[in-house]
Structure 1
Amino acid sequence: MLSLVAAGTVGFLTAFNLPSTTSTTMAPEFPPLKNDLLLRAARGEKTERAPVWVMRQAGRYLPEFREVRKLHEFFEVCRTPDLATEITLQPIRRFSGLLDASIIFSDILVIPQAMGMEVLMNPGPHFPEPLDTPADISKLNTVVDVDKELGYVFKAITQTRMALAGEVPLIGFCGAPWTLFLYMVEGGGSKTFQKVKTWIFKYPEESKALLMRIADVCVDFLVGQVKAGAQLLQVFDSWAGELSPYDFDIFARPTLVHISTNVRKRLAAENLPSTPITLFAKGANYAIASLAESAGYDTLGLDWQVDPAEARRLVKGKVALQGNMDPNVLYGGRDAIESAVKRMCAGFAVDGGSQAWIANLGHGITPGVDPEDLRWFFECVHKYSARA
């Protein structure tokens, strides 16, 4: 495998003879896929074992990632396709044969950036000029050209898909409108969510309009990722659990349905591959049944605060499921990891394993995890999810 850090930012363009201005309108000839376990499970098919990957699998827990970050700012990595490709490939190289998916290295906050907002990472996300009142919406770009503003993500996807050589599928993603809206208003993370709650309760119509505006950019961005080579899409609604069931239905659900409906329409209209879509609405376990019924997603990601057997009962086989071990179990040692994985596999197999399941954590892996403990997690999933 070519070392991108050593090769510099033109390494992949030269190695794969890709033009430096790769457009989402191109249709590259990609290597054939050797492992389609993830895609089959996401489409609801029974698989010989559960495919496995973890959210944030390309990230700070890996020493090779930290070496890259010593030389490059976070969003510089996101915007430099060779660096994004290198980091995306790091866990695939380290855990070759154990992982069933790769997820492009990027960040959900590239959409607010594309809409005209400044976002810094120091170390968490920070917006120097958040949206304080609806009057600030006028500062946003009225039209967002995703090819122009986010073309670096598309280029990284194409390069990574080539470099994977078909070993595993490549996942593209975006943040959900509610989660992005929250960051844009709060200016970063929050403990009270006072600003964003003020918006939705004091300015409900303006909030809904901006949420739908963000959703339209999400649609364009996800379609562009499929054009570039993404084989599965995931929508991250990381702060869904901060909404009551009523407010979720008012402010989050309509945009989630808008995304799934319009991405599928666009893919069909443009003769693009029919691509599975996963929704991870963290904390919104009250909505599992209704999301499975009518949100339009192939797979629902689960956090660790719902029992797998209960989730099976709620979705009634209408969608595949993904998840859901508590990420902090990875700090508990190998016996704790094995016990949790065994329990998780048994929970998702309550129906005899006839329904599709993608093994994952209930949220992203955290920075202090020993990579060898994650390796053990993967090995345990392979062992305990195997089906006769």
Structure 2
Amino acid sequence: AEGRSFLLQGGDCAESFAEHGADNIRDFFRAFLQMAVVLTFGASSPVVKVGRIAGQFAKPRSSGMETVGGVSLPSYRGDIVNGIEFDEASRIPNPERQIEAYRQSAATLNLLRAFAQGGYANLDNVHQWMLGFLSGSPQAERYGHLADKISETMNFMRAIGITADTHPALRETEFFTSHEALLLGYEQAMTRVDSTSGDWYATSGHMIWIGDRTRQLNNAHVEYCRGIKNPIGLKCGPSMDADGLLKLIDVLNPENKSGRLTLITRFGHDKVEANLPRLIRAVEKEGRKVVWSCDPMHGNTITLNNYKTRPFDRILTEVQTFFDVHRAEGTHAGGIHIEMTGKDVTECTGGSRPVLAEDLSDRYHTHCDPRLNATQALELAFLVAELLKKDIEAHAPKQVANL
């Protein structure tokens, strides 16, 4: 909120029971760590790493029913509610699925802790993975200078005795989990009071957010999030007006604490300039402390060859415009919120190793919306690092020579 760090939030659109496994979790964490290192170097400040993981099983749907071949069944609402298979038995909500979601979330969290604290997050490992990415990338020339600077920095650190053996911070990392607080019955069952402070916390994740469809001021989701002390996210789409946003901020962050509330904007690549400045100006005028984060995914979904996809160039454009607007308004672009996987899926078109429309059927594995693959996600991180560096240069104090 005050520009001293950057929020990296990402992971599955909707976690699935079928894809739950150590290899998938490892691959996601590996890609995510590479993004974080690139962003840390670009921002010259800490990156707060928050995964959409260990709880992101539920999905809101615009329609309660889905029709295929003249047959209508209840919509798939995530593995925590019902099955994705299009048959009557699978689409019946089953409360036993909540127990399975809890079990898988706990197992995922335990594995993430082991990866984060057990040496897998060693900075040397992450840097070597990143160099491997660049060695075969068409963007190697563009981003190679940044990787070279990171290499030089690490060589210097080793030369003066700063290594993973002497400094645990180089082989460990902090990692947090998050999800949309959609199923209030599930969230309520996971809400606990801190015996030392008397404050209530959602223990289903470190951070939770309110979706664009459930953010109405009198909605139960807002009331629930108002009462817990966790960091809260609020999705803001094109329909969000300034007055409504300020009322929500007052309810969710009445003490105006930095870091309590993250506004996650999701406009679409061609709607940022028409919507973001008015919200920023309203928030700044009232002196509200918020983190501004960009979700470049949800406003850029199209259909190609009967597959939902997201063109990578539109995702990049929304992120670029998000930073441009904040630079023009004199405010801090505080984070990005993306849907991604560590696998080599073909769900979003484009990128330096382009996924074409005819490639979508090759490895289209998502249970809901299309995700960036590992290569696209890291390419996005390099772009954001360039934007962060530009912001630093724009805000650097200018020295005046004494004549």
**Range into which the TM-score falls when normalised by the shorter chain:** 0.3 to 0.5
Give 1 or 2: higher helix fraction.
1
Q: Which has the higher strand share?
A: 2
Larger radius of gyration: 2
TM-score (norm 1): 0.43
